[in-house]
Chains A and B, each alone.
With several copies, the nearest count.
Chain A
Amino acid sequence: MQMHNKKRIELIIEKMAHKRACRVLEAAGMTGYTVLPAMAGYGGGNRWNRETDISASRDMVVIVSIGDEDKIAEAMLQISDILGDHIGVVSLSSVEVLRPDRF
């Protein structure tokens, strides 16, 4: 089975701000992404938990997007800008996909 190299971006970001990141991904020409709700987390010495914070203002989500290296590079610049203001972590890894034309 023929596989093709792509990049996978994984962005852990505040729920409140996730639409900003989504807009950036779309603007950079990524063809898709998926948003997963997080349940709890830890960072900078603080813990948060979805069930214990009624305002939900500390909730995080994880955005996964798979696409071409160069489009991702474009998105990264702006994402680093968002992350300057918001809380979050972005990471990049190499993956293989089946249908390269989808991306």
Chain B
Amino acid sequence: MDVALSTLLSPIILFFALGMGAALLRSQMSVPEAFAKGLAIYLMMAIGLKGGVEMSKNPLTLDVILMLLAGVVLSFALPLIAYIFLRVTSKLSQTDAAATAAHYGSISIVTFVAATEAVKLSGLDSSGHMVAVAALMETPAIITALILAHRGQKREKPVAGSEQGELVREVALNASIVVLVGALIIGWIAGEEGTAQVSPFFVDLFQGVLCLFLLDIGLSAGRGLRQGWRQLSVATVGFGIYMPLVSAILASGIGFALGASAGDVALLITLAASASYIAVPAAMRLALPKANPSVYLTLSLGVTFPFNVTIGIPIYIFLATLVTG
């Protein structure tokens, strides 16, 4: 398949592979944390602005609202499925399984971007409001996971020092949601003309910055794997591969029901199949401090992310063309 190959050989994926390889070979190189976080903010601003400008070109239809709803429903539902799989096939504790499940209901924005590029390469079109879908899918999964983690346990008194609304604020106003949604609205208000002056920065540089960022993600994923693989059983690693496919099939069904365009369905599938490795791990440290971060981080960043950006995305695009056929 042509798209699959040119995806695999794009500089973006190659830099990811470089980072992962360097980490597995135990190179000490690293992208400074402050710099990588700055790039992440840039990427989210750019994604949000682009989505907002696209949305400003078309009116908000019922179809768009249904697509947003579909994303929310998927994010709520997927952790339940993930949790059941994990509890049945692996030996993870209730807390660990719930925490891991949260990651698979939520999304990875870098995977989303990689899919957007691949969709464009395949000659398909996608809409700006898919960025809003991505933002909306970030958090519902966390709620499901918390319910699962506390199921059948008597209500504990809150940890000393917890504050009213602390978790909600941390989760609902985390950097990626604030920047994505904020930039989306700004792009929507300012429109194509209003953002023309900032497009050399936010549009022209986007792909290049992504290369640098993925070098860093590759390093993180590789180091995570090297340090955490001992914590993973075969059943858990298997989950990191088949769970995205399960989510993809579910999302294909919804995409088919909605009658959306092939490009949009491909992105919805990708969002469903992707797993969070920035926002959700941070939330889990607050909400489920007893869960083991080595398990869920290694799985989502070390197993699922590489699977998605290499093999997964071409499959998801293929699935999308099939159901929108």
- Shortest CB-to-CB span from B26 to chain A, Å, is 11
Contact at A52–B220, with CB atoms within 8 Å? yes
Contact at A52–B223, with CB atoms within 8 Å? yes
Q: A46-B294, A87-B289 are in contact. Are A55 and B282 (CB under 8 A)?
A: yes
Taking CB atoms, residues of chain B closer than 8 Å to A23 are 161, 163
Q: A47-B227, A53-B224, A56-B33 are in contact. Are A79 and B293 (CB under 8 A)?
A: no
Q: Is the interface of B mostly helix, strand, loop or mixed?
A: helix
Tell which of A14, A57, A78 touches B160, judged by Cβ atoms closer than 8 Å.
A78
- Shortest CB-to-CB span from B27 to chain A, Å, is 11
Does residue B234 face the partner (Cβ distance < 8 Å to A)?
Answer: no
Interface residues of A in 64-83 (CB under 8 A from B): 78-79, 81-82
- Shortest CB-to-CB span from B184 to chain A, Å, is 23
Interface centre among A20, A47, A49, A52 (most CB of B within 10 A): A52
A17–B284 Cα gap in the complex (Å)? 11
A73–B285 Cα gap in the complex (Å)? 27
- Shortest CB-to-CB span from B174 to chain A, Å, is 11
Contact at A52–B297, with CB atoms within 8 Å? no
Contact at A55–B297, with CB atoms within 8 Å? yes
Number of A-B contacts (CB under 8 A): 85
Contact at A51–B159, with CB atoms within 8 Å? no
Taking CB atoms, residues of chain B closer than 8 Å to A19 are 161, 163, 166
- Shortest CB-to-CB span from B222 to chain A, Å, is 9
Taking CB atoms, residues of chain B closer than 8 Å to A81 are 159-160
Contact at A54–B286, with CB atoms within 8 Å? no
Q: Is the interface of A mostly helix, strand, loop or mixed?
A: helix
Contact at B297–A17, with CB atoms within 8 Å? no
Interface residues of B in 197-225 (CB under 8 A from A): 216-217, 219-220, 223-224
Interface size on A, residues (CB 8 A): 29
Q: A46-B294, A52-B30 are in contact. Are A57 and B162 (CB under 8 A)?
A: no
Contact at A20–B161, with CB atoms within 8 Å? yes
Tell which of B162, B217, B277, B290 touches A20, judged by Cβ atoms closer than 8 Å.
B162
Does residue A101 face the partner (Cβ distance < 8 Å to B)?
Answer: no
A27–B161 Cα gap in the complex (Å)? 9
A38–B29 Cα gap in the complex (Å)? 19
- Shortest CB-to-CB span from B34 to chain A, Å, is 10
Q: A21-B161, A51-B33 are in contact. Are A57 and B220 (CB under 8 A)?
A: no
Contact at A17–B289, with CB atoms within 8 Å? yes
Taking CB atoms, residues of chain A closer than 8 Å to B297 are 53, 55, 57-58
A19–B165 Cα gap in the complex (Å)? 13
Interface centre among B33, B160, B277 (most CB of A within 10 A): B160
- Shortest CB-to-CB span from B278 to chain A, Å, is 5
8 intermolecular pairs with C-beta atoms under 8 Å apart: A17-B285, A20-B159, A23-B163, A24-B161, A52-B227, A54-B216, A58-B297, A81-B159
B-side residues, CB < 8 A to A, are 23, 30-33, 36, 40, 159-163, 166, 216-217, 219-220, 223-224, 227, 277-278, 281-282, 284-286, 289-290, 293-294, 297, 301
- Top 7 closest A-B pairs, CB basis? A20-B161, A16-B285, A57-B281, A52-B223, A81-B160, A51-B30, A55-B281
A-side residues, CB < 8 A to B, are 14, 16-17, 19-24, 27, 46-47, 49-58, 78-79, 81-82, 85-87
